[in-house]
Amino acid sequence: MANKRLIIDVISAGMIRVASVMILLVILGVFAQIAFTALPLFESPSSSVDVLPATRAGPAAELKVTQDSGANDAGSLPGLIDDHRLALSKIDPAAVPEPKRGSWLDARDTTIEQVHLKAENDGLVPSVLTRYFIPAGIQAMSNISLSRHFVVLDRAGVIHVYRLGRSQARTTFTEEFEVSDINRVDWLDESTFALYSHEEQRLVRSVKALTNTLPLADLFSFRQYEGYPQPTLTWQPRVVDGAESKYSLVPLLWGTMSAALFSLMLALPVAMGAAIYVGYYMPPVFREAIKPMIEMIAAFPGVVIAGIAMLWLAPRLHHALAECIGIVLTVPIIVALSGLFLNQYFQTQPGSYFSKRLPMVVVLVLVIAIYTGAKLGESVEGLFFEDSVVLWFERYYGLSVSYFNGVLVGIALGIAVFPTIFSLAEEAIFSTPKGAATGSLALGASPWQSFIDGVLPVAAPGIVAAIMLGLSRAIGETMILLLLSGNTPIQSSNPLEGMRSVAATLAIELPEAGVDSTHYRVLFFSALALFALTFLINTCAQLLKRRWRRRYGVVA
């Protein structure tokens, strides 16, 4: 009997160990999986080129095309300007026969050593964007694939795979070819190209090249794109008419950070004020009722906050911007002034008759302050801004204003991050050892002086941790940005324009990106960046909290 019990114990212990370690591995493997999907993006294609057997022959029609174009009349080839220059014009699938997407060159001429990439800029004079030097001379060259790559086989038997618009080859790999044998290179699909022998009319070899790769710098630095006057940072992954996909993460990161900043600007003062009042001034009896109530704001899911903001706030924000600014500027001043006034004539120290009825008075003062602020904003707008602040700025400063803008996002996101910051900061303030405040009070300092000099230094790590966690919440929030930011990937510090965040981009674009395409991997990389960023912020916050806990021995 005892034996059976022991066996059950040993077996269950083993099972629990194995199962939990597996679960933990899956949880912790989230990061690894995203990384493993994203990081092949930066792989150098040459290292993993997979040369397929020649059995995968191209269709007969393609071989026929080779023969047709084999006529050595170089001048008549589309895109060949003279002996030394080649123009790769903007791709127009309709203008070119089906197997050839874009212009190409069957180059046997030994004088050709360079490929000049030119872009037609909406009918303007083509300008040289990039030139490719092929010192050994061009033996054969492919057309441009859907993923904007082309292949050059030089006379030394080296295959170069270029990505359009780049100044030097990313991919150079050598194969032992009978060079004289091969005179045509063409794409079979997005990532496989074939080498054909003209004389024997056969496919010599097909090569799988990894074209779904990008250098890391492309995601973060200025890039020259076709048809753009100067290098830009642009996010435009899905483009029509075969134009170049533009993957710059900078606008997305900018959007994410600016939205987070706007939200913190609004949420931080309110959350900190509320945390100080509830954690420091308020009697603990009230605190137990008030704190969970304020934390209830966390029960509003992001999508609901976004829905309310979009349906109710957005149509009003344009007209009520002046009122809003008026309220934001006036309320603290009026509240502070009335505090000064009441303090002068009434006894407001903790425990007095007046302070027990403080909440009611505060509500009254707030209502008056909000009303005054709104009226003040309205009249200032009428007097100085020709009845509309928005239109005035638009007219005289050329400030562009969009319906979905940073202010709207800031308000909604601020509401979403408010409970996080409030709850943790309040916890930090409340659980500082009481001696810090009472000692200071007993020595004659005012309550606020005691707070600043006694409580705040002790609670500071916890408060910083709270702000960091709020920031990481703001960075990761998806639905609010998705509904309210307008999802325009522009980079602007104007709070009245829209933005596009990393999280919202993931939600919109990932379901439609082809598995393992460049787009898919770039999106996974942006998810990885988001993950790493929030994880880093959270870890710093955790470590701060742990240190703080250890030093003061408080359980929070």
Partner 1 sequence: MTSGPLSDFHGEGSVFAAWALRRAGVMLWLTSGMAVSAIVLLIGMLGLLCWLAFAGDAFGAAAGHFPGALAVLSQGEPPYTAEALFSAIVGTITVTLLMTLLVAPLGILVAVYLHVYARQHWYTDLVRIAIHNLAGVPSIIYGVFGLGFFVYWVGGGIDELFFSDSLPRATFGTPGILWAAITLALLTLPTVIVSIEEGLLRLPASLREGSFALGATRFETVVGVLLPATMTSVVTGVILAVARATGEVAPLMLVGVVKYAPSLPVSIEAPFIHLEQKFMHLGYLVYDLTLHAPAGNGRVALIAVVALSLVLVTMSLTTFAAVLRGRFRYQYAQEGLL
Q: Of residues 197, 206, 423, 472, which one binds partner 1 by CB under 8 A?
A: 472
Q: Which is nearer to partner 1, 250 or 290 (CB)?
A: 290
The span from the CA of 26 to the CA of 36, in Å, is: 14
Least CB distance to partner 1 at residue 298 (A): 7
Nearest alpha-carbon partner for 70 in 179, 203, 196, 190: 196
* Residue in this structure with the two tokens 């114990």, named with its chain if needed: 9
Among 239, 304, 328, 391, binds partner 1 (CB under 8 A): 304
Q: Is 303 in the site for partner 1 (CB under 8 A)?
A: yes
Hunting for tokens 């005289």 — which residue is that? Answer: 396
Helix then strand then coil, in percent of the chain rounded to 5, is 55, 10, 30
Q: Which residues pair with 197 in a beta bridge?
A: 182, 202
CA–CA separation, 102 and 143 (whole Å): 6
CB 41 to partner 1: min, Å: 13
Can you tell me which of 228, 392, 393, 531 binds partner 1, judged by CB under 8 A? 531
Nearer to partner 1, 47 or 344 (CB): 344
40 is an interface residue for partner 1 by CB under 8 A: no
Site for partner 1 in 154-193 (CB under 8 A): none
Q: For partner 1, which is the closer residue by CB, 340 or 383?
A: 340
* Residues in region 485-524 near partner 1 by CB under 8 A: 503, 506-507, 510-511, 515, 523-524
Q: Which stretch binds partner 1 (CB under 8 A): 55-63, 153-161, 237-245, 442-450?
A: 442-450
Distance separating alpha carbons of residues 204 and 214, to the nearest angstrom: 28
Interacting positions 325-344 with partner 1 (CB under 8 A): 331-332, 335-336, 338-340, 342-344
Q: How far apart are CA 55 and CA 49, in angstroms?
A: 17
Q: How far is the CB of 413 from partner 1 (least distance, A)?
A: 13
Choose, by CB under 8 A, the member of 459, 482, 496, 544 that binds partner 1: 482
The dihedral over CA atoms of 463, 464, 469, 474, expressed in degrees to the nearest 10, equals: 110
Nearer to partner 1, 45 or 302 (CB): 302
Euclidean distance between CA atoms 466 and 472, whole angstroms: 10
Is residue 292 near partner 1 by the rule CB under 8 A? yes
Closest CA to 526 of 344, 273, 253: 253
CB of 69 within 8 A of CB of 106? yes
Q: Quick one: which of 16, 51, 128, 391 contacts partner 1 (CB under 8 A)? A: 16
d(CA 466, CA 443): 30
d(CA 423, CA 275): 7
Give min distance, CB of 220 to partner 1, in A: 20
Contact 474, 260 (CB under 8 A): yes
Among positions 265, 296, 328, 391, the unique one binding partner 1 when judged by CB under 8 A: 296
Alpha-helical regions (H) of 277-357: 284-295, 302-308, 314-345, 353-356
Q: Binder to partner 1 among 53, 75, 229, 444 (CB under 8 A)?
A: 444
- The site map against partner 1 for 245-284 (x = CB under 8 A) is ------------------------xxxxxx-xxx-xxx--
Collect all residues with Cβ–Cβ distance below 8 Å to 312 and sequence separation of at least 6. Answer: none
Residue 29 C-beta: closest distance to partner 1, Å = 8
Choice between 194 and 428, CB closer to partner 1: 428
Nearer to partner 1, 128 or 443 (CB): 443
Cα–Cα distance between 456 and 460 in angstroms, integer? 6
In the complex with partner 1, the residue whose CB is nearer, 143 or 423, is: 423
Instruction: Determine contact, residues 210/191, Cβ cutoff 8 Å.
Output: yes
* Contact criterion met (CB below 8 Å) for 273 and 362: no
Angle at 130 between CA 128 and CA 136, to 5 degrees: 115
C-alpha span between 248 and 293 (Å, rounded): 43
Among residues 81, 128, 311, 328, the one that binds partner 1 under rule CB under 8 A: 311
Which of these ranges, 25-33, 111-119, 132-140, 390-398, lies near partner 1 under the rule CB under 8 A?
Answer: 25-33
Given the complex with partner 1, which of 124 and 285 has the nearer CB atom? 285
- Considering only residues 346 through 385, tell me which ones interact with partner 1, judged by CB under 8 A: 348, 358-359, 362-363, 365-366
Using the minimum distance from each CB to partner 1, give the nearer residue, 173 or 277: 277
**How far is the C-alpha of 139 from the C-alpha of 181, rounded, in Å?**
10
- In the list 24, 52, 54, 95, the residue contacting partner 1 (rule: CB under 8 A) is 24
Binding of partner 1 by 47 (CB under 8 A): no
Inter-CA distances, 509 with 153, 449, 491, Å: 36, 52, 19
Least Å distance, CB 32 to partner 1, is: 10
**From the CB of 201, what's the least distance to partner 1, in Å?**
33
